């Protein structure tokens, strides 16, 4: 009997290109605007990869990390990092409603007709 081979899912890119696309998407968020981890993943072409966005932010250097939030505009960091994120966002003109960012006013939605730089 022949051993059946499992078909592998088609990969959309190498790990380096995935990371690069996510970094480019994060850099495209303008000052005074924010996005969620899931929103960045979707805009980069990887819907459902919010955890991957968090991993890229942990390892990335020089990214505007403060502009990426949890669902609903929550700051997901803790302690001094959360305070720093809020202060940085306030300095950029981002408005808060209590402990959450006012997503109606400040959420970045990439133009679907125009791809993020580098794509």
Domain annotation covers residue 9: no
- pTM recorded for the entire structure: 0.81
CATH at residue 49: 1.10.10.10
User: What is the span of the domain harbouring residue 98?
Assistant: 16-106
Domain annotation covers residue 58: yes
pLDDT of residue 2: 56
Structural domain tally of the chain? 1
Domain annotation covers residue 98: yes
pLDDT of residue 53: 97
Give the pLDDT means over successive 10-residue stretches in the chain (119 positions).
52 79 97 98 96 95 97 96 98 97 96 55
Domain annotation covers residue 22: yes
Buried-state track 70-92, b at ≥16 Cβ within 10 A, e below 16: beebebebeeeeeeebbeebeeb
Domain annotation covers residue 3: no
Domain annotation covers residue 117: no
């Amino acid at each position: 009997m022949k051993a059946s081979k499992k078909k592998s899912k088609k990969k959309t890119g190498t790990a380096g290109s995935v990371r690069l696309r996510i970094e480019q998407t994060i850099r495209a968020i303008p000052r005074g605007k924010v996005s969620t981890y899931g929103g960045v993943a979707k805009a980069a072409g990887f819907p459902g990869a919010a955890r991957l966005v968090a991993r890229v932010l942990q390892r990335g250097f020089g990214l505007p990390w403060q502009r990426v939030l949890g669902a609903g505009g929550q700051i997901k960091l803790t302690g001094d990092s959360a305070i720093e994120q809020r202060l940085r966002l306030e300095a950029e003109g981002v408005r808060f409603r209590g402990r959450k960012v006012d997503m109606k006013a400040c959420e970045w939605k990439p133009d679907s007709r125009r791809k993020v730089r580098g794509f």
